[in-house]
């Protein structure tokens, strides 16, 4: 199988690339390195079946060049992270809507099958006990930048579904809930690496609001194989599948767990949302997935416990990264460059 991973230099994408190479695929990564980086791909760079194209999904010619060499596309490239979205909503909207439409159009043109990475954010403020794929979406005002990510990903899904019904594009959608693991960065507002980084540095752990908001975290090691299995299933075309963690935990409990697992002497500081994200910021109190559809399709069960995830993240943040020439020389702003052989 020849696979393209857009956003393959990012957190989830780089794990997906490793997984696909390990099962024998030829893999092209298309990434503009905006939030991803070359270090994430240092484990695969010498694989002769791997090629990296530094470029943007906003450029249809680059997308066409990459997709036309592949049978299957995993579309993960996106502007991700609450902080990034709130700080630059316009760029985020462009990437997440226009970029995705470019990918859809080119897949429809070339006949490649497509797996679209969507998000539990699309459910917005729906705080049901268990969110199934047809649950209602409850979003705040479109004038609040915070909701632009959910709005854009919702449009992506609608676009994908329309390409399936209109052109028969074989596309399936995964709605990822909070996914955690090595290589995830805290700087764009991801809570687990943020808290673990603070604990390791001995800084106060900053918990937003009252800390009683809950989430269900899942490990990238459980999610990546499930993404591939869904992409491989023809029964998934035209449908969306939740992929989320099993255990609900409050952010305050998470902070306490992080302190315990890292042996940190840090304390916990409650910070009003406005201090971090400006006035009028809204968050959802809870978000719990119903994974039934993915379980029925591929037997998906999230197995990794949150304490194991915290230890993995801590280990990844403390491991010195092998910054060698490849990383340093290629990390220049390049419009388009190609690294790799196949
Ligand atoms: N991490 C999570 O908890 C989570 C939850 C729900 C959904 N998702 C989805 O999973 C996907 C991957 O997220 P992630 O957590 O790995 O984030 P990430 O920021 O690590 O990865 C996104 C990648 O896309 C690249 N990118 C951004 N704009 C691009 C562009 N215009 N052209 C080419 N590449 C571009 C970035 O450089 C980065 O490598 C995203 O689609 C995201 O919406 C992630």
For residue 327, pLDDT beyond 50: no
Taking the centre of ligand 1 as the mean of its atom positions, its distance from the CA of residue 95, in whole angstroms, is 10
pLDDT of 66 = 98
Q: Is 32 in the pocket of ligand 1 (CB under 6 A)?
A: yes
Q: Is 36 in the pocket of ligand 1 (CB under 6 A)?
A: yes
Mean pLDDT of the chain: 91
Q: Is 17 in the pocket of ligand 1 (CB under 6 A)?
A: no
- Rounded CA-CA distance 240/242 in Å is 7
Q: Which residues does 90 contact at the CB level (< 8 Å), separation at least 6?
A: none
Task: State the pLDDT confidence band at 274, using cuts at 50, 70 and 90.
Answer: confident
pLDDT of 334 = 42
> What would the mean pLDDT of 289-316 be, rounded to a whole number?
97
For residue 340, pLDDT beyond 70: no
The pair of structure tokens assigned to 221 is 């090691």
What is the position in ligand 1's atom list of the atom closest to the CA of 220? 1
Could you tell me if residue 127 is left (phi over 0), alpha (psi between -120 and 50 degrees) or otherwise beta?
alpha
pLDDT in tens, 68-127: 999 999 999 999 987 888 888 999 999 999 999 999 999 999 999 999 999 999 999 999
pLDDT of 198 = 96
Give the residue from 276, 311, 321 showing the smallest Cα distance to 200: 311
- Mutation probe of ligand 1 site: the residue of 78, 103, 188 with most atoms within 8 A of C-beta: 78
Taking the centre of ligand 1 as the mean of its atom positions, its distance from the CA of residue 80, in whole angstroms, is 5
> What would the mean pLDDT of 308-327 be, rounded to a whole number?
71
Q: Is 246 in the pocket of ligand 1 (CB under 6 A)?
A: no
For residue 151, pLDDT beyond 70: yes
pLDDT in tens, 239-250: 999 999 999 999
The pair of structure tokens assigned to 332 is 């220049």
For residue 211, pLDDT beyond 90: yes
pLDDT of 324 = 36
pTM metric for this prediction: 0.93
Top pLDDT among 326 and 151 is at: 151
> What would the mean pLDDT of 288-314 be, rounded to a whole number?
97
Give the residue from 269, 254, 256, 267 showing the smallest Cα distance to 202: 267
Taking the centre of ligand 1 as the mean of its atom positions, its distance from the CA of residue 36, in whole angstroms, is 8
pLDDT of 1 = 96
pLDDT of 281 = 74
In this structure, the dihedral spanned by the alpha carbons of residues 177, 182, 188 and 191, taken in order and rounded to 10 degrees, is 60
What is the position in ligand 1's atom list of the atom closest to the CA of 121? 6
> What would the mean pLDDT of 318-328 be, rounded to a whole number?
46
Q: Which residue's CA is minimally distant from atom 34 of ligand 1? A: 31
Q: Is 78 in the pocket of ligand 1 (CB under 6 A)?
A: yes
Q: Is 163 in the pocket of ligand 1 (CB under 6 A)?
A: no
For residue 326, pLDDT beyond 80: no
In this structure, the dihedral spanned by the alpha carbons of residues 170, 114, 99 and 88, taken in order and rounded to 10 degrees, is 120
- Rounded CA-CA distance 102/119 in Å is 19
pLDDT in tens, 191-208: 999 999 999 999 999 999
Give the residue from 117, 2, 115, 107 showing the smallest Cα distance to 63: 107
- Mutation probe of ligand 1 site: the residue of 6, 14, 19, 35 with most atoms within 8 A of C-beta: 35
pLDDT of 316 = 92
Please state which of the four CATH numbers 3.40.50.20, 3.40.50.720, 1.10.287.620, 3.30.1330.80 is assigned to the domain occupying 2-179+218-245+289-302+320-340: 3.40.50.720
Strand 214-216 versus strand 248-250 pairing type: antiparallel
pLDDT of 321 = 43
pLDDT of 337 = 61
Give the residue from 124, 86, 137, 154 showing the smallest Cα distance to 286: 124
């Amino acid at each position: 199988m020849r696979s393209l991973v857009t956003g393959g230099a990012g957190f989830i994408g780089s794990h997906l690339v490793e997984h696909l190479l390990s099962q024998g695929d030829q893999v092209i990564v298309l990434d503009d390195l905006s939030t991803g980086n070359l270090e994430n791909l240092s484990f695969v760079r010498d694989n002769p079946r791997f090629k990296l194209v530094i470029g943007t999904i906003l450029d249809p010619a680059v997308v066409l060049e990459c997709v036309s060499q592949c049978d299957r596309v995993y579309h993960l490239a996106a502007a991700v992270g609450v902080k990034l979205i709130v700080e630059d909503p316009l760029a985020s909207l462009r990437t997440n809507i226009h970029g995705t439409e470019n990918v859809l159009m080119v897949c429809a043109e070339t006949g490649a099958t497509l797996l679209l990475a969507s998000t539990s954010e699309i459910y917005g403020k729906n705080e049901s006990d268990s969110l199934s794929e047809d649950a209602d979406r409850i979003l705040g005002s479109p004038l609040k930048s915070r909701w632009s990510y959910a709005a854009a990903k919702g449009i992506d899904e609608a676009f994908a579904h329309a390409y399936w019904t209109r052109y028969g594009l074989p596309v399936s959608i995964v709605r990822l809930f909070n996914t955690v693991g090595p290589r995830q960065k805290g700087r764009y507002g991801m809570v687990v690496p943020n808290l673990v980084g603070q604990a390791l540095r001995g800084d106060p752990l900053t918990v937003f609001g009252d800390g009683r908001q809950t989430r269900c975290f899942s490990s990238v090691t459980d999610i990546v194989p499930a993404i591939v299995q869904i992409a491989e299933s023809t029964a998934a075309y035209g449908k969306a599948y939740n992929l989320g963690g099993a255990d609900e935990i409050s952010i305050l409990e998470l902070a306490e767990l992080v302190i315990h697992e890292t042996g940190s002497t840090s304390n916990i500081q409650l910070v009003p949302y406005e201090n971090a994200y400006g006035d009028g910021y809204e968050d959802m109190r809870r978000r719990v997935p119903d994974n039934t559809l993915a379980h029925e399709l591929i037997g998906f069960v999230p197995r990794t416990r949150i304490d194991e995830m915290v230890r993995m993240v801590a280990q990844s943040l403390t491991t010195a990264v092998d910054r060698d020439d490849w990383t340093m020389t290629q990390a220049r702003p390049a419009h388009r460059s190609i690294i790799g052989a196949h």
